[in-house]
Structure 1
Amino acid sequence: MWTEKVGKQLGRPTRSVAGWLVSKLFTVRNQVLEENAVQLCGIQPGDTVLELGHGPGLGLQSAAKLLTEPTGRLIGVDYSDYMHQMAKERMKELLVGGKVTLHHCDVAAMPLGGNTVDKVFHCNCYYFWPDLRKGATEIHRVMKPGGLMVTTLRLSHVATLAAKRVMPGENWRPEAYMAALKDSGFTDVRMEDKQHKHLTFQAIFATALK
């Protein structure tokens, strides 16, 4: 029972003691993965960039610093209202200025136009999607031809959580997500080991083919 509750909070934190603890965990454990996902995207100053499952907004902060041209835009989506509100507070100045837009929504149903996004990144996110194919198809829809998607994870930690049944099913497996990306029209889908100081993590890359 407790593993199911933990899994639900990891996937969709609520405004509660458990949700608060998860937000602190995201802040401490995800920062390196978030920052590296941003760097691996190769964001250009005038890009339109999308973060999926933005959590408390650490990745949004990193990406926003790179969008230095007036045309640069940053979009975030998260289906946890608690995380949405936390990110709104963190990014409030850029939200007022129109540089950043945040949506409280499901990745599989984003209120974005097709072929509008240059780069997409996310961190510790896809394993909580109920339907990987729907999520991947929606990401492909909003991306411009040739756009790059990057996600980062620590596979050893994810596998440990899955073994404890914190994450139900098999969606956590990188090969399941990579298959969904390929089926949805992405090309050059691959996973690479990366190193940040003493930390080893994995990055999945995919290019939108249209």
Structure 2
Amino acid sequence: MGLIGRFFRQFQRPEDSFLGHAAGRLMAATTGGRNEWTLSLLKIRPCDRILEIGYGPGVGILLASRMVPEGTVVGIDPSEAMRKQAERRNRRAVREGKVRLFTGNIEDWPGFDHSFTRIFSVNSAPFWTDRIRVFQKLHGWLEPGGLIALTFQPVGKDAPDPEATCEQLTDEMKQAGFVRIRRETKPFRSAPAVCLVAEREQSR
């Protein structure tokens, strides 16, 4: 694989290398709008406990932590390089215990010591290897009445069809127990982004 191919591979799982950190810096410079839009769909409250899956360079973590002055933000990402960048970007919040960042695969992650009121992910869900199993985990980690938002933005001629991806993700979320699933779309310069917002049903 050539240098260009190795570089573009970093956007799926950045390595702890020069190319991985360069990809992270590029993501940090270009993903703010998608993260901000995704968070705006979650009706975040000051005391929410938020989980981000695939936090990358930590831009979404930073935005989320500013929205919950009385809450907390937790993130999990498979890349050690991204954890380092995200910790630098959120240094103060990490030091104060407001933000906790973990490195690992969501498919293998055993769980957390508390539930969450909001969960979000940007350009991560299409790469999960066993999505139904992951959605079942997320459904279990989300409080009844909690909201989840999953954003993806297919870019390039070889990108998967957004309509088919949206239908597949919606079906998998339904199988995991999520309800009131709706689709939101927002145009961006590179390509439109799609966000699926869903809820864990309130306990009766």
What TM-score do you get using the length of structure 2 for normalisation? 0.86
Task: Give the structure 2 partner of residue 186 of structure 1.
Answer: 178
Identity %: 26
Distance 1:198 1:9, change over 3 A: closer
Structure-2 residue corresponding to 1:207: 199
Structure 1: runs of 5+ lacking an equivalent: 164-169
Matching residue within 142, 157, 160 for 1:160 = 157
1:39 aligns with 2:40: yes
Q: What residue is the counterpart of 2:111 in the other structure?
A: 111
Query: In structure 1, what residue type is equivalent to 2:53?
Result: L
Distance in 2, matches of 1:125 and 1:20, equals 18
Q: Which amino acid aligns with 1:126?
A: A
Q: Is the alpha carbon distance of 1:195 and 1:7 closer, same or farther for their aligned partners in structure 2, counting shifts above 3 Å?
A: closer
| Corresponding residue SS for 1:162 | coil
Change (3 A) 1:60 1:110: farther
Q: Secondary structure at the match of 1:18?
A: helix
Deviation at 1:102, TM superposition (A): 1.1
- Which stretch of structure 1 is more off in the superposition, 53-62 or 7-16? 7-16
- Aligned to 1:193, the other structure's residue is in SS state strand
Tell me: CA distance 1:175–1:113, structure 2 relative to 1, closer, same or farther (3 Å): farther
Root mean square deviation of aligned Cα? 2.6
Say if 1:4 and 1:139 are closer, same or farther in 2 by CA, change over 3 A.
farther
The match for 2:122 is 123
Q: TM-score when scaled to structure 1?
A: 0.83
The offset of 1:162, in angstroms, is 2.7
From 174, 177, 183, the counterpart of 2:166: 174
Closer, same or farther in 2 for the Cα pair 1:138/1:8, shift >3 Å? farther
Q: Kindly tell me the number of residue pairs found equivalent between the two proteins.
A: 198
CA 1:194 to 1:92, structure 2 compared with 1: closer, same or farther past 3 Å?
same
Structure 2 alignment gaps of length 5 or more: none
SS at match of 1:10: coil
Task: Please tell me the residue identity of whatever aligns with 1:193.
Answer: T
Letter in 2 for 1:99: K
Aligned twin of 1:88: 87
Q: Please say if residues 113 and 142 of structure 1, whose CA atoms lie closer than 8 Å, have aligned partners that are also in contact.
A: no
Equivalent position amino acid for 1:185 in 2 = G
Deviation per CA, 1:124-153, whole angstroms, max 9, x where unpaired?
111111111121111111100111001223
